[in-house]
Amino acid sequence: MKLEYPWMLLLFIPYAAVLYFAWTLHAPSIRVPGLAPFKRAAGKGRRLNWRKLVPFVLFALGGAAMIVALAQPREGIEEIRSKADGIDIMIAVDLSPSMNAIDAPAHVTDTQLLNQLQRGTLKNRVETAKDEIARFIEERPNDRIGLIAFASLPYVMCPPTLDHAFLLANLERLSVGQIGDGTGIASPIASAVKRLKDSEAKSRILVLFTDGSNTVNGQISPRDAGKLADTFDITIYTVGIGSRHARIPVQSLLGGVILQTYPDEFDEPLLRELADMTGGRYYRAADAKGMAQAMSEINKLEKTSVEQPVVVNWRELYPYFCWFGLGAILLGFCLRQTVCLRLP
């Protein structure tokens, strides 16, 4: 049990003086002849007056309970001290139009692909990436994870956070074409560095997903951005998405949807170089299975210890002392007016 305001117990000092004064104070009375002097002369001392003692004790206990209630006693019913392993991670997802492409084996016909798309059994690159990223997030509850969407420009959808419900909600909002048509690889790296460079975590990670080569000439090149990440000890893991048999749905002149062959365009040497210069790894995800395998390997990253704060759920005890105090005072008053009432 813990007292929230222990200094309130100092009230017991004046309270003890009040109790002494109340016990020694004689109630107004009329003296009448009796046998008490003769009993004292016979050697029988004055017996304890229980009619006075019982109500007095009840009043004293009631007052003491009220003082304890003012100190607000409470009891910790649960203490959580979790020593978790976690790192800070930023995930950057390409939202250029090519992420609408579908990676499927060459022997699958366009008709079969369209039927699978309509039934929801086959997904395009961005939806596949979202599914694997969501699974990755759910398997790392102790990591602070953030999300960057990028195309021509980067956009921080969510800063590094332990609120993974908020993170997953923002991940679900990702759709192709939100922020331009190009692919700028340097800008999401620079944006992730800005978010991670002041982190106190011993390990800081950027996982970058793209299916295209760099087509945006920014203020810094992708290699310069990689060197910047290495300066702040940020490890980059790159995932190149795409296969040689990709197809992308387009609107036909008749209003329907047709599939066109779409060659893989990502710059594999650049992605490999960015990973190597920061101590990370490069993964190629030719399809949904390859994406799952890449995320599974990244999920085995080395972790660092993070001491989480102590959380204690308190159960307030002062109401019990209040009710006990009121009950004792009420019982003492009733006894003094009935059983312990002294008549002349």
| pLDDT value of residue 296 | 86
At 77, is the pLDDT very low, low, confident or very high (cuts 50, 70, 90)? Answer: low
State residue 282's pLDDT score.
Answer: 92
Q: What are 21's two structure tokens?
A: 């004064």
Structure confidence at residue 124 (pLDDT): 83
Task: Flag whether pLDDT at 143 surpasses 90.
Answer: no
Q: Are the CB atoms for 129 and 241 separated by under 8 Å?
A: yes
Strands 204-210 and 88-94: parallel
CA 265 to chain centre: 39
User: And the tokens for 36?
Assistant: 């008490």
Percent of the chain with pLDDT over 90: 27
Taking 90 as the threshold, does the pLDDT of residue 156 lie above it? yes
Of the two residues 251 and 95, the one the predictor is more confident about is 95
Q: What is the pLDDT of residues 181-198, one digit of tens each?
A: 888 999 999 999 999 998
pLDDT at 42 (0 to 100):
54
H helix runs in 29-163, sequence order: 36-41, 50-70, 110-119, 125-138
Q: Which domains does the chain have, with CATH numbers?
A: 2-26+35-79+311-337 (no CATH), 83-307 (3.40.50.410)
Give the other-Cβ count within 10 Å of 159's Cβ. Answer: 14
Tell me what the mean pLDDT of segment 162-169 comes to.
Answer: 93
Torsion of CA 306, 309, 313, 314, to 10 degrees: 150
